[in-house]
Amino acid sequence: MIFRTVFAVLALAFSTAASAQSYLCAFDGIYGLNETESGVSANPIQFGQKENPAWEFELIKTEREVEIVWSASPLQFEGKTAALQTGPKSFAIFLAAEGPCMFTEGHCGASLHYAEQEDGSLAFHYQPIALTRFEDGRREPLKVYAVGRCYPEEGGK
């Protein structure tokens, strides 16, 4: 009986590892939203993300989980979490971290929503929890979002 249980656990571990797919992800743009009486506009925020490999991360997905591997993350966005299916081949995740954080004064968090494309890549939308502080001490949520693409890595994980 114990051998059957051990075999079942090993078979599950190997099937999960075999079904994991690894992607290399990069940002195409990071934007701040500005609201005025005449409407909303998106303005690019430049952190050198297009030229800097520190702005690339690995996304490893299985059927039920997503792991973000990004040890040099300027956004403190790394870890493993459950994936919420939002549609066919489309998922969302949320990760939180302790500070210091780029867009907040305390703890931080962000959501990542991605959808598989016909070429096998993943189009993603990243939205951090962000805060802005004014000179008079007021604070308001800062509206920031980013978009990008993930491409399958050869051999996966």
Per the prediction, the chain carries an average pLDDT of: 85
Q: What is the pLDDT of residue 18?
A: 52
Transcribe the chain into DSSP letters. Answer: -HHHHHHHHHHHHHHHHHH-EEEEEEEEEEEEEEEETTEEEEEE--SSTTT-GGGEEEEEE-SSEEEEE-TT-TT---EEEEPEEEETTEEEEEEEE-S--SS-SS-EEEEEEEEE-TTS-EEEEEEE--EEE-TTS-EEE--EEEEEEEEEPTT--
Considering its fold, how many domains does the chain have in total? Answer: 1
Domain that holds residue 93: 20-152
Residue 1 lies in a domain: no
Burial code (b: 16+ CB inside 10 Å, e: under 16) for 1-24 equals: eeeeeeeeeeeeeeeeeeeebbbe
pLDDT higher than threshold 90 for residue 118: yes
Task: For 91-104, write each residue's pLDDT tens digit.
Answer: 999 999 887 888 88
pLDDT higher than threshold 50 for residue 10: no
Residue 134 lies in a domain: yes
pLDDT higher than threshold 50 for residue 114: yes
Q: What is the pLDDT of residue 75?
A: 85
Most confident of 55-59, 104-108, 121-125: 121-125
Residue 34 lies in a domain: yes
For residue 151, the one-letter residue type is Y
Residue 44 lies in a domain: yes
Q: Quick one: what percent of the chain has pLDDT higher than 70?
A: 84
Residue 13 lies in a domain: no
Task: For 35-86, write each residue's pLDDT tens digit.
Answer: 889 999 999 988 766 667 778 999 999 989 999 999 888 888 999 999 999 9
Residue 89 lies in a domain: yes
Residue 3 lies in a domain: no
Residue 107 lies in a domain: yes
